[in-house]
Amino acid sequence: MRFDVLTIFPELFCPHLRDGILGRAVKNGILHVKIINIRDFARGTHKTTDDRPFGGGNGMVMKPGPIYRALQSVDRANGSSLVVLLSPQGKAFDQSVAWELATLDQIILICGRYEGVDERIRLICVDSELSIGDYVLSGGELGAMVVMDAVSRLVPGVLGGERSNIEDSFQDGLLEYPQYTRPRVFQGKSVPPVLLSGDHEKIRLWRRKESLKRTLEKRPDLLKNASLDREDKEILAKLRK
């Protein structure tokens, strides 16, 4: 998979692409990431990428020209490619959207700043808009990193374990069950005995029950759209009692 990111702050992405799972996938050639500085495509002595909005108002708006020229410089993949604008007006980004994006060959992410981008960029260039939450950030860079990280985890070969992304929270609409590791006792708290039993079926049932319990307690709204079988519904009925 390939990511092309358009931003006026390319240096923000350096640590994200150097370390951790994403950095390792880039080094191993599983992911290809190109960070494009929109300022390189601005004209004039000062390489200005923003201007005052027509009609007045506070703040500045990113000019369409530099973004358009930056997009024109991107080599499009032979397969499927999507231009995404990070925007508070976009579709809510969640795990199901991440899976959809993971099927693409290339994702081009536009990071807005200030009061946003000129509307003509939306109309001419953008295929989709995504929002990572209902709050205000200084720019789209953090959103782009979130999208890159979540989608990359779903690309074959990026994670070490084949089932790692399958067992993550939200994969089946539920929160993940509690996890434990050594030591067996920490600050007076012991690992649940069932996890030490070696009985795989009992462990599976315990984990499913804890996943349902945690979701019911912390995010009951998720249960409405979760993938639940008869066993899950029976467990939930007992938990609700």
User: Which residue numbers are catalytic?
Assistant: 88, 115, 153, 168
d(CA 52, CA 71): 22
Are 113 and 171 a contacting pair, CB within 8 Å?
no
CB under 8 Å to 208, separation ≥6 — which residues?
Answer: 177, 231, 232, 235
Q: Which region holds residue 80: left if phi is over 0, alpha if psi is between -120 and 50, else beta?
A: beta
Tell the burial category of 219 from Cβ atoms under 10 Å away from its Cβ (0-12, 13-18, 19+): middle
